[in-house]
Amino acid sequence: MTISPLKIGPLEIWPPVLSAPMAGYTGGVYREILREHGCPYCYTEMVSAKGLLHGGDDSEEILLHADDDRPLAVQIFGYEPESMAEAAAMLSRPERGFQAIDINMGCPARKITSQGSGGALLKDVSLAGDIVRAVRDSSRVPVTVKMRLGWEDSSGAVRFAQRIAASGAHMIVVHGRTVSQGYSGKADWKAIEGIASEVPVPVVGNGDILSAREALERLERGPCAGVMVGRAILGNPVFFEDLTALLRGEQPEEYTPQTKMRLAKEHFERSIERYGERRGLLEMRKQLVHYFRGMRGAARLRETVLREKSPEAVVRFLEEGWRAYQ
């Protein structure tokens, strides 16, 4: 099957592989690194529509991005059509620099669903449709939705997606688990593909894609117009270089421990420069452990990094100290 660019309103994304929005991981620093390695489309971490409108949280900081971090979608969450529409109107102004507004209808975190947002919207297709319509009417840029298969089961997933599309969504991303599953079990790609076959807008599949080769295979089999990758890109910004190589018919370069540690050090130093030593160190602890995946002595590498209390010590470890565990 021929792979085509992903169309989101007037946008054309090539290759049609998106970086997932992941709270605490896909902030501006890591997005910049992903872009340098070929990522064609990113999202901000999700922000609260109410928090953005009324202040008092870190929404504005999350929204900061470099001029060349584009095309970039801003992901918002909430449960009131009015506040979601107001936030979308604000965020779609040209000076904000976003190319799409994404509505989170899949987050399984209790602090989000308990207020009726995120995955909780899957229980109310009428309200979900009203939110999409309100956001679409107020936005100057394309509107997309990220959803799951349902709250407890996937029996209403196609109907939900069709309602979202009819309400004005330009694209739908479907994560192949229910909200009650969280991140357990396996993503149901049969259900994702069933939705893609029944919805008149592009559908992007998401869940358990572990490599660039697997992303390409999903695209080749259809009917999804694109795929979204989450955990597989953490500690692995070369994912998109691998994908580009495969699309050219070439073999991706080996992701060696030396390359991992070089990129981890670069990521760490950028984080310290952006956020300062204390916050940068805290922010990076959870990021660095992903660079150790697949390495010999990964558990001991993680323990060592988590014990370090100074940026200088972490840099020395990423330069040379890690070799003692190989």
Let me know whether 321 and 184 are in one domain.
no
> What is the rounded average pLDDT for all residues in the chain?
95
Let me know whether 176 and 45 are in one domain.
yes
Task: Give residue 178's region: left, alpha or beta (phi > 0; psi -120 to 50).
Answer: beta
CATH number (domain holding residue 311): 1.10.1200
| Mean pLDDT calculated for residue range 145-165 | 97
CA 189 – CA 175 distance, rounded (Å)? 9
Residue 59: per-residue pLDDT = 85
Last residue of a domain, one of 201, 225, 247: 247
Query: Which pLDDT tens digit goes with each residue over 272-326?
Result: 999 999 999 988 989 999 999 999 999 999 999 999 889 999 999 999 999 988 8
Determine, yes or no, domain membership for 44.
Answer: yes
Query: Which pLDDT tens digit goes with each residue over 225-254?
Result: 999 999 999 999 999 999 999 999 999 999
Let me know whether 191 and 305 are in one domain.
no
CA angle, residues 297, 300, 301, in degrees to nearest 5: 80
Query: Which pLDDT tens digit goes with each residue over 6-31?
Result: 999 999 999 999 999 999 999 999 99
Let me know whether 114 and 200 are in one domain.
yes
pTM of the model as a whole: 0.94
Residue 134: per-residue pLDDT = 98
Let me know whether 215 and 273 are in one domain.
no
Percent of the chain with pLDDT over 90: 92
Q: Which domain holds residue 178?
A: 6-247
Determine, yes or no, domain membership for 126.
Answer: yes
Determine, yes or no, domain membership for 19.
Answer: yes
Let me know whether 157 and 301 are in one domain.
no
Strands (E), 171-276: 171-175, 203-206, 226-229
Let me know whether 119 and 217 are in one domain.
yes
Is pLDDT of 255 > 90?
yes
Q: 């901000």: which residue's tokens?
A: 44
CA 212 – CA 17 distance, rounded (Å)? 9
Determine, yes or no, domain membership for 203.
Answer: yes
Let me know whether 241 and 277 are in one domain.
no
Q: How confident is the model at residue 56 (pLDDT cuts 50, 70, 90)?
A: low
Last residue of a domain, one of 247, 268, 294: 247
Last residue of a domain, one of 226, 247, 268: 247
DSSP helix/strand/coil, 100: strand
Determine, yes or no, domain membership for 144.
Answer: yes
CATH number (domain holding residue 171): 3.20.20.70
Let me know whether 203 and 79 are in one domain.
yes
Reply yes or no on whether 107 is catalytic. Answer: yes
Query: Which pLDDT tens digit goes with each residue over 123-148?
Result: 999 999 999 999 999 999 999 999 99
Determine, yes or no, domain membership for 252.
Answer: no
Let me know whether 278 and 169 are in one domain.
no
Residue 152: per-residue pLDDT = 95
Q: Which listed residue (39, 42, 107, 224) is catalytic?
A: 107
Determine, yes or no, domain membership for 196.
Answer: yes
Q: Which two tokens stand for residue 116?
A: 């009726």
Determine, yes or no, domain membership for 1.
Answer: no
Specify the number of domains making up the chain. 2
Compute how many other C-beta atoms are within 10 angstroms of the C-beta atom of residue 97.
15
Is pLDDT of 60 > 90?
no
User: In whole angstroms, how far apart are CA 272 and each of 31, 130, 243?
Assistant: 15, 42, 29
Let me know whether 229 and 279 are in one domain.
no
Let me know whether 10 and 157 are in one domain.
yes
